[in-house]
Amino acid sequence: VEEAEHNRGQDQALREAVDARNELDAIAYQVERRLAELGDAAPAHEKARAEMLVSDARAAVKEEAGVERVRPLTSELQQVLAGLAAHQGAAATGGPGQDAATGGPTSGGGVDDDVIDAEFDKG
């Protein structure tokens, strides 16, 4: 029991480092997937930064880096992922004034349509 109490701090630090590396690995995977989805639609500067950060993240995970190195990389990758998500949203809608399904101009309807949800009884 005394030995377990003595090692508790070390175990918590190890657990925190492992969890941080797992989170970094997961966010790196998400960024890679988003880059693949976007393809050439991703801005070149964001794509290059994302690829560099993913490479750094993979190296940090492989080297079992400490929390002090992992957390800043995770934060930067989350920012890149958010930026790529914004570009993916714009690409999915085809840009402003475009219909997402056809890529053509939007129809006269939209948010201003008067849609009424109702139930009818047959009796």
87-107 pLDDT, tens digit per residue, is 766 656 555 444 444 444 444
Which residues have a Cβ under 8 Å from the Cβ of 70 and sit 6 or more positions away? 17, 20, 21, 23, 24, 60
Structure tokens at 119: 């139930």
Of 63 and 89, the structure prediction assigns the larger pLDDT to 63
| CATH architecture for residues 2-93 | Up-down Bundle (1.20)
Contact indicator for 46, 84 with CB cutoff of 8 Å: yes
5-51 pLDDT, tens digit per residue, is 778 888 888 999 999 999 999 999 999 999 998 888 888 888 999 99
67-92 pLDDT, tens digit per residue, is 999 999 999 999 999 988 887 666 56
CB atoms within 10 A of CB 107: 9
Share of the chain above pLDDT 70, in %: 70
The residue type found at 64 is: E
- Residue 115 confidence (pLDDT) above 90: no
